[in-house]
Every structure is written in structure tokens, then in C-alpha cells.
Amino acid sequence: MIFGGFSYSNSRYQLYGTDIRKRGEMDIQSLRILKAVAETGSFSAAAKKMNFAQSHISTQIQYLEEEIGAPLFTRHNRGVSICPAGELFLQYANEMTRIMEEASLAISKSNVPSGKVRLAVMQTLAHTLLPDVLSRYHKKYPMVELEIPTGTCDQNIWAVLNHEADLSIAANTGERKDIHSTPLMQEHLVLLSSDPGLKIPTVEEMQDRTVLVFSEGCAYRKRLHLWLQSENILPKAQIVFESLSGILASACAGLGVTLLPKNVAERYIRDHLLYACEIPEQFRMLPLFLIHRNDQYLSPAMKAMSKMILQSLSSGMQAR
């Protein structure tokens, strides 16, 4: 059976009819070795990462280079650097290993959640609603390895589309045909300020303010800009942060104002460190969705995570 350039017959791997099992054994393990070398930049580091002898790593790479007919890495005193041919082959290697892993999961007879789940979320959710969900999930399914990368909404959507995340909670998915979106909840956005006198932000007041935002691609930043543009407001300055804690601490210090979900700042509001100001109703509520690729195979572990998120956070799209 030919699969992605490989053919399988009687426990031997062949590349377009040539038996390579005797030589480089271009199997999934060889492709993983290629990926490890590319990621670590050296044969010794890749050997340590994969618990192999360094000689095995270098031999497998050499066999791959012979089979492909081009150098994959440039050797130098500091280790190795991937060549153009290696970068191209690595793209196919990543895709082949991903497909093989998905196939292995798909044909598994076990319905017990196991393996890995990668859930990409915004920092705000990682700090508020998600910890309780993850705690209960981990207790119920201890065999599942969890990865929770955080990023902007656009970064998380990109991660799902590029197979770097299995699931995500995101906004602004649009009408993409390659993404399956399930309505989850709505976040109540408020303008946060250390100024107790800023009750209803007027045009005059906002033009004198510095706004604190996440990097490009953040759903809250987009919503803030839409509101300001609708009022023809040009803030005094804009400061970009990479962390939620940095934005909140800076807002408390009076550096500027920020637009975030109200539940993110509940403690700060309770302690009178920040004050929440309502913004116009048409910009106030931000819908969130649970998303995955349309062609993504959902393992039992992924299905269990999706179910728990929906049961825990979905409230008929009511505000949180």
C-alpha cells in the first residue's frame, strides 16, 4: 500500500519500490529523528532528547540524505544547521508523522481517553475559567497529557489550522469552511482604569488616555479599536504587552486603560485597585467558540475535553 511516498508490504518499508529497510529504515522513527535534529540543532542534543546513541542519530540522518540525494544539514563546530532541502523535507516529515499518529489513534480499539490534548487559549481564559475545567479533567483522565499554549485569538486559530493545537477557544472565527465552531459563551468586556472618576468614558476623556493592549491579533484589542474608531477617538498613546499580568499591573499603576473581560479583574475591582466602566452596548459582548479543524480526527481524549468545556462553560451564550 503506497502512503505519502511510502509503501508497506510484509513488515518492510519501501520508497517508490526500493527496499530501504536494509539501509536507512526511513520509517516514522527516522522522521522523528530528523525533526529532533532540526529542533535541537545538534546530533548530540537530539540523541539525548530521544534516548539514542549519537552514532545512531548521525547514521540515520546520513541514510536519509543518501536516499533523498541531497544534504539535509550543514555540519559545523556548533552543531548542525538545516539546509533548504532539509526544510522542505521536514514539512513533509511533519505531515507524515501527524497522519500516522492520527491513523494510529483512529484504529485504536480503546475508547479510554489517553494520549495528548493540545488546547490553545487566550491568557484571560487560562487565568479565570479554565483552571477549574483542567483540574477536573486531569483528575478524571490522568492518562491524558495536556498542553495549554496561550496566545492571541488569531495565533490560536493559526495553531489549530496548522496542526499545532487540537482545540481552541477563540473569537472572530468568521465563516471559515476549514474550522468547526461550536458557540460557547459571551464575555462581558469593560474598560478598566485606576481612575475612580472614569464612570462613562467620553470622547474627550478617552483622547487623553493611553491604552494598554495585547499584541496584534488579540480579540480584545480589535474590539477596543472598533469602538474607538466608531467614535473617532484617537488615544494619546498605545502600549503593547505580551502578558495579562503586565497589563493589569500597569493599569493599576495608572499607566493607562485597557479593555478586558470583567471577570479577569474581579479581585482588582473588589479591592478598589481598578474600576470597571461600561462601553457602548454594541461592543460590550464578545462571543467565544470552541473550535477544531473540520478534518481533525477527534480522539476519545479530545472528545472528552470538548464535552467538559461545553458542559462547564457553555451557558446558552449568556454573559460571563
- Domain membership of residue 319 (yes or no) is no
pLDDT level of residue 24 (50, 70, 90 thresholds):
very low
Q: 72, 106, 140 — which closes off a domain?
A: 106
Instruction: State how far the Cα of 199 lies from the Cα of 46, in Å rounded to an integer.
Output: 57
pLDDT number for residue 176? 79
Please tell me the distance from the alpha carbon of residue 242 to that of residue 17, in angstroms, as a whole number.
51
How many angstroms separate the CA atoms of 117 and 127, rounded?
A: 19
CATH code assigned at 79: 1.10.10.10
Looking at the structure, do residues 6 and 98 belong to the same domain, yes or no? yes
Q: Would you state the pLDDT for residue 127?
A: 93
Residues 6+ apart with CB under 8 A from 260: 124, 189, 190, 192, 220, 244, 247, 248
Question: Are both 58 and 120 inside the same structural domain?
Answer: no
CATH number for 269: 3.40.190.10
User: In the numeric block, which cell numbers belong to residue 208?
Assistant: 487623553
| pLDDT confidence band for 315 (50 / 70 / 90) | low
Looking at residue 219, what is its pLDDT? 95
Tell me: do 280 and 245 sit in the same domain. yes
Let me know whether 166 and 293 are in one domain.
yes
pLDDT attached to residue 4: 37
**Using a CB cutoff of 8 Å and minimum separation of 24, what contacts does 1-10 make?**
4/92, 4/95, 4/96, 4/99, 5/92, 5/96, 6/96
Please give the share of the chain, as a percent, with pLDDT higher than 70: 87
Which pLDDT score is estimated for 108? 63
318 falls within a domain = no
Of 306, 29, 314, the residue nearest 144 (C-alpha): 306
Burial 282-298 (b: 16+ CB within 10 A, else e): eebbbebbbbbbeebeb
Question: pLDDT tier at 6 (50, 70, 90 boundaries)?
Answer: very low
- Kind plus residue range of the DSSP H or E element containing 8: strand 6-9
What is the distance between the alpha carbons of residues 254 and 275, in angstroms, rounded to a whole number?
Answer: 11
Q: Domain residues for 135?
A: 115-185+286-313
Q: Are residues 141 and 268 in the same domain?
A: no
Type of residue found at 179 = I
Q: Which of 243, 265, 264 is nearest to 194 (CA)?
A: 265
What total number of domains does the chain contain?
3
Q: Is residue 275 located within the same domain as residue 209?
A: yes
- The tens digit of pLDDT for each residue in 65-98 reads 888 889 999 999 889 999 999 999 999 988 888 8
Confidence of residue 109 (pLDDT cuts 50, 70, 90): low
**pLDDT (mean) for 256-285:** 94
What is the per-residue pLDDT for 160?
95
Helical (H) or strand (E) element with 123: helix 123-127
CB atoms within 10 A of CB 81: 12
Q: pLDDT tier at 17 (50, 70, 90 boundaries)?
A: very low
